[in-house]
Every structure is written in structure tokens, then in C-alpha cells.
């Protein structure tokens, strides 16, 4: 998709693989509308580096985690510019060498192929055939520098290029100024990844009913929900700044229609229907 001035616009790619992209729950309005005829959806006509430059030591590796592989962004096969691509069924042993490019301000803040938001200061990447999301270690073969990236986008749709890295990842590998580099890409196999690309149960298997700074409030809600529902109710802790948040969640729900049934039970009992999560 990308690289400074070298790849087709992301809009064209997403239009071709529209079935791949999940729509985030954003408020409708002028910002959510498409561009007028003849206009680009991007603020910047040309890609490039941001005004705020960073150093390699400022770039943190992506942290591999067992993110589920959903249908969003993984339509297969798909066709771009007359070329058909097949997303890999098994990518655990993937290793390849080729040319890496990078993309920057033109795409910053826009949706990736699986509906996430591209942040040029994070270590991420676009790849034509790896399932998304997944994680890979990318090594610059000319200087030995490496970075761990989260692959969450499609591209680059140039036959001679293997992978497109974020601005931050290119800085860490030392090729931001040259534009391209010879790299090796090796997938990081993460245990516990749930591949639900063909699941009849749908992409969402959990509901979040609340997030509290007080563990007692979270436990009270957990007890009340568990008395109401047959599905498991649990508390998931997450660090938020300097404190912990206690998230009350229902699931996993694996049967088709189970999540919708639970939401109806919650509404009937006077609760919010909850936030669906993968």
C-alpha cells in the first residue's frame, strides 16, 4: 500500500478488499463521509516523514500477544491492480528476504486493513499475505539492526517489495532516509492464538460490562452477572497509567447466536448490552 510516493493509495486497496475491513463504532458526521469526487481521503498528497523526528532508541518493539485472527483484513484470495494474493493459512514458520519500504504522514491516523488506526510512531507493518494481526522480527541485512513489528495492514503492492514498515520501524532499522532496505522477515509464533477466520460463531466472543478502579465494585458486578447468566463472568486486570483497572467481562461464547442471546438477557434485566470484544 505504501512507502513514500511509491505505492497505490490506501483508499484504493481498502476499496478492493472492502470485505476485510471492520467498521469502528465512530459517530457519523462529515468526518465519516467519503471524499468528494476528485478529492483524496488523505490530508497529505505526498507521503513522508513527520515534523517530529525520533531516534532509534525512542522506538519500542511491538509486544507479541495472542491476538485472535479474525475475518477483518483477511479476505482470501483478494486482487489488487490485477494481481491476486492468497493469505497464508499457516504462517508459523514464515521466513523470507526481500526489500522493505516505509510509510508515514499520508496514512497516519487512517484505518489499516483490519480496521485499526495507523500510528507512524508505533512499530507496525503491512504485508501482502501474512494473516493479520501477527508479529514478526524484521532485520536489516546491511547493518544487523532488528525490530519487532505488529503486522496489521496489507501491502506493499509493488512486485519487488516484501514488506512496508511504519516510519518508526524504519527509523529503528536505520533506513528511513534511504527509503528502502534489504531485510529478513521472520514471523514470531505466539502460543494461544485463536484463528477464527472461518468461525460460524462470528468474530466477537466476549462482552465487557464495566471497568472499575475499585476491585470491590468489579466483584459486585461479577457476582450479580454470574447469578443471571449461564456464560462465564470474569475480571480482567489492565494497567492504566499508575493504577489498575478491573474489567468485568462475559465469555468466551463459542456457539452461534450466544452473544446476542446474552445481550438480550442483559437488556431484559436492566443492564447495558455490553461492548462486544474479539
Show the cell assigned to 70.
479474525
Contact yes or no for 35/149 (Cβ under 8 A) = no
Residues 231 and 144 placed together within one structural domain of the fold: no
Calpha distance 4→259 (Å, rounded):
43
- Does residue 176 sit within a domain? yes
Q: What is the pLDDT of residues 54-75, one digit of tens each?
A: 999 999 999 998 888 888 899 9
For the cut 90, the answer to whether the pLDDT of residue 157 exceeds it is yes
Question: Which parts of the chain fold into alpha helices (H)?
Answer: 10-16, 167-173, 215-228, 258-268
Q: What is the pLDDT of residues 76-130, one digit of tens each?
A: 999 999 999 999 999 999 999 999 999 988 878 888 998 788 999 999 999 999 9
Our measurement of the distance from residue 135's CA atom to the centroid of its chain's CA atoms, rounded to an integer in Å, reads: 11
Contact yes or no for 160/173 (Cβ under 8 A) = no
Residue-range definition of the domain harbouring residue 245: 206-277
Residues 164 and 241 placed together within one structural domain of the fold: no
Q: Can you give the CATH number for the domain in which 158 is found?
A: 2.40.40.10
- Final residue belonging to a domain, choices 187, 216, 243: 187
Calpha distance 255→126 (Å, rounded):
32
- Domains: count for the chain: 2
Better-scored residue on pLDDT, 42 or 20: 42
Calpha distance 107→1 (Å, rounded):
10
Query: Mean per-residue pLDDT for 151-174?
Result: 96
Name residue, grid cell 464495566: 210
Question: pLDDT value at position 4?
Answer: 40
Calpha distance 122→146 (Å, rounded):
14
Contacts for 257 with CB less than 8 Å, ≥ 6 apart: none
Amino acid at each position: 500500500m505504501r512507502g513514500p510516493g511509491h505505492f497505490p493509495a490506501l483508499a484504493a486497496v481498502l476499496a478492493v478488499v472492502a470485505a476485510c475491513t471492520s467498521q469502528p463504532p465512530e459517530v457519523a458526521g462529515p468526518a465519516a463521509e467519503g471524499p468528494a469526487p476528485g478529492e483524496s481521503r488523505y490530508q497529505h498528497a505526498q507521503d513522508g516523514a513527520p515534523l517530529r523526528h525520533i531516534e532509534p532508541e525512542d522506538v519500542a518493539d511491538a509486544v507479541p500477544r495472542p491476538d485472535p485472527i479474525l475475518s477483518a483484513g483477511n479476505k482470501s484470495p483478494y486482487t489488487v491492480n490485477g494481481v491476486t494474493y492468497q493469505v497464508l493459512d499457516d504462517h508459523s514458520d514464515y521466513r523470507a528476504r526481500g526489500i522493505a519500504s516505509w510509510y508515514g504522514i499520508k496514512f497516519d491516523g487512517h484505518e489499516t486493513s483490519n480496521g485499526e488506526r495507523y500510528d507512524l510512531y508505533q512499530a507496525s507493518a503491512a504485508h501482502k499475505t501474512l494473516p493479520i494481526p501477527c508479529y514478526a522480527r524484521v532485520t536489516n541485512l546491511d547493518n544487523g539492526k532488528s525490530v519487532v513489528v505488529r503486522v496489521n495492514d496489507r501491502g506493499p503492492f509493488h512486485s519487488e517489495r516484501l514488506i512496508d514498515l511504519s516510519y518508526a520501524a524504519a527509523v529503528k532499522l536505520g533506513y528511513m532516509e534511504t527509503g528502502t532496505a534489504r531485510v529478513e522477515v521472520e514471523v514470531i509464533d505466539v502460543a494461544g492464538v485463536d484463528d477464527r477466520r472461518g468461525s460460524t460463531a462470528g468474530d466477537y466472543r466476549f462482552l465487557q460490562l464495566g471497568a472499575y478502579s475499585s476491585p470491590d465494585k468489579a466483584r459486585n458486578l461479577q457476582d450479580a452477572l454470574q447469578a443471571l447468566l449461564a456464560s462465564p463472568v470474569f475480571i480482567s486486570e489492565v494497567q492504566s497509567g499508575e493504577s489498575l483497572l478491573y474489567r468485568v467481562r462475559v465469555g468466551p461464547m463459542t456457539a452461534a447466536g450466544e452473544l446476542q442471546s446474552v445481550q438480550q438477557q442483559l437488556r431484559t434485566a436492566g443492564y447495558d448490552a455490553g461492548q462486544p470484544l474479539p
